[in-house]
Amino acid sequence: MSIDLKTIKHISKLSRISVDEQKAEKLAEDLSSIFEFIEKLNQLNTDKVEPLTSVAETSLKFRSDEVKSKNIREQIIKNSPEDNKDFFVVPKVVE
Amino acid sequence: MSEITNQSLTSLAQNIKDKKLSSEEVTKAFIERSEKSKELNTYISEDFSNAIDKAKKFDQNPNLNLKLPGIPIAVKDLFCTQNVRTTAGSKILENFIPTYESTVTQNIWDEGAILLGKLNCDEFAMGSSNETSFYGNVQNPIDKGLVPGGSSGGSAAALSGKLTPITIGTDTGGSIRQPASFTGTVGLKPTYGSCSRYGIVAFASSLDQAGPMAQNVKDCALLQEVISTYDKKDSTSIDFKRNEYSKELTKDIKGKKIGIPKEYRVDGMPKEIEELWQKGIQYVKDCGAEIIDISLPNTSYALPTYYIVAPAEASSNLARYDGVKYGFRAKGENLIDMYEKTRSEGFGAEVQRRIMIGTYVLSSGYYDAYYLKAQKVRKLIKNDFDEAYKKVDAILTPSTPSSAFKIGEKKDDPVSMYLNDIFTVPVNLAGLPAISIPAGHDASGYPLGLQIIGKAFKEQEILNIAYAMEDKINFKNNITDWWIK
């Protein structure tokens, strides 16, 4: 299957990755060859097959919803590219 | 110094326990060799002066009952290490300093080991040659200009170059076994759920597993014993009875049934790989095991399935890198523009490609055709193994379809790069354990590996088979230290 530039623009928007014309063309080429490779799966009839969502044949364990780490605001904020000591700072969203 | 760095983990630990070597001597020896080995580009971050301090502290009051007493270890830079920069090979995490420790590395420190530094890897573990790392490619100690494999390429190169006595990697589609095969070392991908994923930078959560890499099977078994623990912090960690893998290790594999899957004889596979496989079959026969021909009919669908499932999960996992909470941030005119520029400048080309594939296969109108289809085929692949394991105890295959290739050789052709993982990917899709052991050399003298795949939770079984084979193979790595001036 070939992936056109319009599709690349659409996926780049969904992925929140900006893509210029040159990069879009390269991506269209790469993704087309990858999807051509992936299309092989259509040779298989899977109508009666249940999808596998987890290889572990145990069900997930329940746990009580408890606070385990307290007073770690500083640690959480520590790696942020921009903060005001109490909050993460982002470009203005509301005028 | 080389009499220290040439030793296996087992012998170093014994020498420290017998007080013939101190942790400081051992740590300094590996640091000295690492300092001379910059050309290999194995380290992203070094933590040498802290390592020496920790070694001195260990020697002052040594606990010699530990399994890794004062042993220095460098680890893949995908494991979060408290207060030590963790980049995942990406620009987007260039300044990220975790405030917490991954469970697997914590288990290693709890047994007395000392962190030397963080090892290079493909960006977010996405690659088979270590060429997607933002921190540059790694040289394979086997020969100049050769890739070490990936994504745990820095780990494999540091191990075979004797810059660390053992190491850990992660394996999502072959990222431990393929570089082990390319560098003449041993690498184990444990059963899904065996090692905690807590604190490991996530790539594809239903496939990712941490595992040990070592110079020999015994060291590998010992490290697996240390890192495999049930962990409440990882909801997919499995609470099963773990063996004492190194203590229970035996070369007695008499009567074991070993399957040979005909579908692994792929078109265009070099003759020397086929010959190596035949040799491996002879070795297990010599050990008294029985060879049984089996079929894994859906093998050829594994790679296309993987290239839907893994990118889909990656696109979701990597949504967290938005320039807000941690990591790199680009300037933008508004919030959305900031997100888009951050991700465009912060992620490399392969990571962007995979996020886009993943986003597409999960997007409205395509989910059933791609993602759901892949999950169904994944079921068929797992069924193939379940069926085979009614007849056999383990499966023997080559680890890779070729030996290590040249840096740059496959970089511009993603599909040919993906084909590297043709023998390793089915194992991740089925969640099984598998080990790669060095088994011979090709015409250029480059190492080649054989893979033993086990039943779920039967790490002991494949370690035993590997241990028995290792004895017969008697592999020697041809490393000339060409990079040391």
Task: Please tell me which residue of chain A has the smallest CA distance to B233.
Answer: A63
Alpha carbon distance B244, B241 (integer Å): 10
Task: Please tell me which residue of chain A has the smallest CA distance to B325.
Answer: A80
Asked if pLDDT for residue B122 goes beyond 70, the answer is: yes
Interface touch A8/B356, C-beta < 8 Å: yes
Question: Mind listing the pLDDT tens digit for each residue in B139-173?
Answer: 999 999 999 999 999 999 999 999 999 999 999 99
Task: Please tell me which residue of chain A has the smallest CA distance to B368.
Answer: A51
The least confident of A60-74, B225-239, B419-433 is A60-74
Alpha carbon distance B362, B378 (integer Å): 16
Is residue B368 very low, low, confident or very high in pLDDT (cuts 50, 70, 90)? very high
Closest CA to B226 of B240, B238, B212: B212
Write the residue in B325, B341, B415 that is nearest to A37 by C-beta: B415
Interface touch A17/B352, C-beta < 8 Å: yes
Which phi and psi (to 5°) does residue B259 adopt?
-90, 145
What is the distance in angstroms between the Cα of B157 and the nearest Cα belonging to chain A? 29
Task: Please tell me which residue of chain A has the smallest CA distance to B96.
Answer: A79
Interface touch A54/B236, C-beta < 8 Å: yes
- Hey, what domains does chain B have and what are their CATH numbers? 2-256 (3.90.1300.10)
- A53 C-beta neighbours (distance < 10 Å), count: 9
- Spell out the residues 6+ positions from residue A60 whose beta carbon is closer than 8 angstroms to its own: B235, B236
What is the distance in angstroms between the Cα of A84 and the nearest Cα belonging to chain B? 12
Residue B307: its pLDDT value, please?
95
Strand, helix or coil for residue B43: strand
> Which residues of chain B have a CB within 8 Å of the CB of A60?
235-236
Question: Mind listing the pLDDT tens digit for each residue in B321-348?
Answer: 999 999 999 999 999 999 999 999 999 9
Write the residue in B304, B338, B382 that is nearest to A41 by C-beta: B304
Interface touch A15/B333, C-beta < 8 Å: no
Tell me the whole-structure pTM to 2 decimals.
Answer: 0.97
Closest CA to B342 of B92, B87, B134, B89: B92
Write the residue in A38, A51, A78 that is nearest to B376 by C-beta: A51
CB pairs under 8 A between A and B: 156
- Spell out the residues 6+ positions from residue B53 whose beta carbon is closer than 8 angstroms to its own: none
* Residues B130, B123 contacting (CB under 8 angstroms): no
Interface touch B377/A63, C-beta < 8 Å: no
Asked if pLDDT for residue B461 goes beyond 70, the answer is: yes
Question: Mind listing the pLDDT tens digit for each residue in A21-68?
Answer: 999 999 999 999 999 999 999 999 999 999 998 888 777 788 888 988
Asked if pLDDT for residue B81 goes beyond 70, the answer is: yes
- Spell out the residues 6+ positions from residue B16 whose beta carbon is closer than 8 angstroms to its own: B22, B23, B26, B62, B64, B69, B70, B71
The percent of residues above 70 in pLDDT, for chain B, comes to: 100
> Which of A4, A20, A55 best probes binding to B when mutated, by most B CB atoms within 10 angstroms?
A55
Interface touch B322/A93, C-beta < 8 Å: no
Q: Where are the alpha helices (DSSP H) in B61-176?
A: 103-110, 153-160
Q: Report the amino acid identity of residue B406.
A: K
Interface touch A11/B353, C-beta < 8 Å: no
Residues in chain B: 485
Place of tokens 């523009």: B337
Detail the DSSP E strand segments found in B65-189: 72-76, 114-119, 166-171, 186-189
> Which of A33, A39, A41 best probes binding to B when mutated, by most B CB atoms within 10 angstroms?
A41
Interface touch B344/A11, C-beta < 8 Å: no
> Which residues of chain A have a CB within 8 Å of the CB of B418?
34, 37
* Residues B15, B139 contacting (CB under 8 angstroms): no
> Which residues of chain B have a CB within 8 Å of the CB of A33?
414-415
Domain spans of chain A? Answer: 5-43
> Which residues of chain A have a CB within 8 Å of the CB of B360?
3, 7, 11, 31
> What's chain B's average pLDDT?
96
Interface touch A31/B360, C-beta < 8 Å: yes
> Which residues of chain A have a CB within 8 Å of the CB of B430?
55
> Which residues of chain B have a CB within 8 Å of the CB of A81?
323-324, 326-329
Catalytic positions of B, written as ranges: 76, 151, 175
Asked if pLDDT for residue B108 goes beyond 70, the answer is: yes
Interface touch A61/B235, C-beta < 8 Å: yes
Residue B276: its pLDDT value, please?
96
Residue B429: its pLDDT value, please?
98
Is residue B91 very low, low, confident or very high in pLDDT (cuts 50, 70, 90)? very high
Task: Please tell me which residue of chain A has the smallest CA distance to B341.
Answer: A18
Residue B412: its pLDDT value, please?
81
Interface touch A38/B376, C-beta < 8 Å: no
What letter would DSSP give residue B368? I
The least confident of A6-15, B46-55, B411-420, B438-447 is B411-420
* Residues B63, B69 contacting (CB under 8 angstroms): yes
Stretch B208-227: mean pLDDT, rounded?
Answer: 98
Q: Where are the alpha helices (DSSP H) in B152-197?
A: 153-160, 177-183
Stretch B73-80: mean pLDDT, rounded?
Answer: 98
Alpha carbon distance B294, B387 (integer Å): 9
* Residues B76, B170 contacting (CB under 8 angstroms): yes
Stretch B241-253: mean pLDDT, rounded?
Answer: 97
> Which residues of chain A have a CB within 8 Å of the CB of B334?
91-93
Is residue B405 very low, low, confident or very high in pLDDT (cuts 50, 70, 90)? very high
Spell out the CATH class of A5-43.
mainly alpha
Q: Report the amino acid identity of residue B87.
A: T
Asked if pLDDT for residue B69 goes beyond 90, the answer is: yes
3-state SS record for B375-416: HHHHHHHHHHHHHHCCCCCEEEEECCCCCCCECCCCCCCHHH
The percent of residues above 90 in pLDDT, for chain B, comes to: 96
> Which of B344, B347, B410 best probes binding to A when mutated, by most A CB atoms within 10 angstroms?
B344
Asked if pLDDT for residue A5 goes beyond 70, the answer is: yes
Distances (CA, A) of B268 to B192, B271, B272, B347, B449: 31, 9, 11, 34, 18
> Which residues of chain B have a CB within 8 Å of the CB of A35?
357
> Which residues of chain A have a CB within 8 Å of the CB of B301?
40-41, 44
- B20 C-beta neighbours (distance < 10 Å), count: 9
Look up the ipTM and state it: 0.95
Structural tokens at position B169: 């990697």
Closest CA to B277 of B402, B444, B450, B434: B450
Stretch B48-66: mean pLDDT, rounded?
Answer: 97
Task: Please tell me which residue of chain B has the smallest CA distance to A62.
Answer: B235
Stretch B188-199: mean pLDDT, rounded?
Answer: 98
Interface touch A88/B341, C-beta < 8 Å: no
Is residue B360 very low, low, confident or very high in pLDDT (cuts 50, 70, 90)? very high
Interface touch B431/A55, C-beta < 8 Å: yes
Question: Mind listing the pLDDT tens digit for each residue in B266-305?
Answer: 888 889 999 999 999 999 999 999 999 999 999 999 999 9
Write the residue in A14, A42, A55 that is nearest to B192 by C-beta: A55
Residue B1: its pLDDT value, please?
59
